[in-house]
């Protein structure tokens, strides 16, 4: 079991996908995402295995939540800087997102 101070170390923030592309070089089907986290963090990149339920066109403009303080991870030729959060369903990964407009870069409490 973790404590609240442990959870508080994880920065989970809201961002808006500004660009999404197919990622054919990835071992598993994935997209390259560029996510705007506002003035403080700017645009960060992520590789996301969400091809089962979304197209790149579906993703552009969408709000998401992501862990923003993991170290970057090299995935094929792409440096993934944040981890977009989702839940596995029988049809694929469902992205987690605020149900209303929120400030970009706003932190999950």
Q: pLDDT tens-digit profile of 46-74?
A: 999 999 999 999 999 999 999 999 999 99
CB 80 within 8 A of CB 45: yes
At 27 the pLDDT is 93
Q: What average pLDDT does range 80-88 have in this prediction?
A: 98
Give the Cα separation of 53 and 84 in Å (integer).
15
- pLDDT tens per residue across span 6-41: 999 999 999 999 999 999 999 999 999 999 999 999
Considering the entire predicted model, what is its pTM?
0.95
**Per-domain boundaries in the chain:** 4-95
CATH no. for 4-95? 2.40.50.140
Phi-psi region of 61 (alpha: psi -120 to 50; beta: other; left: phi over 0): left
Helix (H) or strand (E) holding 39, with range, is helix 38-41
């Amino acid at each position: 079991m973790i404590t609240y101070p442990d959870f508080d170390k994880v920065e989970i923030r809201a961002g808006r996908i500004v660009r999404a592309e197919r990622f054919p070089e990835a071992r598993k089907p994935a997209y390259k995402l560029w996510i705007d986290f506002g003035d403080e963090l700017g645009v960060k990149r992520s590789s996301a295995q969400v091809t089962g339920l979304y197209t790149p066109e579906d993703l552009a403009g969408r709000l998401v939540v992501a862990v923003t303080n993991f170290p970057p991870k090299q995935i094929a030729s792409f440096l993934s800087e944040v981890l977009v959060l989702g839940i596995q369903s029988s049809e694929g990964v469902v992205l987690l997102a605020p149900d209303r407009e929120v400030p970009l870069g706003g932190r999950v409490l």
